[in-house]
Structure 1
Amino acid sequence: MTKLSVNINKIATLRNARGPHARPDLLQAARDIERFGAEGITVHPRPDERHIRYQDVRDLQHLVTTELNVEGNPTPDFMALVREVRPAQVTLVPDAPDALTSNAGWDTVGQQAYLKDIVAELHGLGSRVSIFLDPDLALVDAAAATGTDRIELYTEAYARQYAADRAAAVAPYRAAAARAGQLGLGVNAGHDLDLDNLAFLHQQLPELAEVSIGHALVADALYLGLENTVQLYKRQLR
Structure 2
Amino acid sequence: MLKTLLGAAAPAKPARGVLPSSRDNPLTIEDGSLNATRRQLAQMLLRDLLRNHGIPLQWIECQMQVVASRSRGSGMTMRLIIKHWDERLMNYCYALQSALVADITRFEPQASEWLHSIAWQLEVAETCPYLTLPEKAFWLGPAKPAPSPTPIARPPRVHVTPIPAVAPMAPISPTPPAAAVSAAAAAALDVDLATPVAPPAETAQEDDALKDLERLFLIRDQALGVPLADDQAAPGYEATQPSAP
Which TM class, normalised by the smaller chain length? under 0.3
Higher-helix-fraction structure? 1
Compare CA radii of gyration and give the structure with the larger one: 2
The structure showing larger relative contact order (alpha-carbon pairs under 8 Å, at least 6 residues apart) is 1
Give me the TM-score of the superposition, normalised by structure 1.
Answer: 0.22
Higher-strand-fraction structure? 1
Give me the TM-score of the superposition, normalised by structure 2.
Answer: 0.21
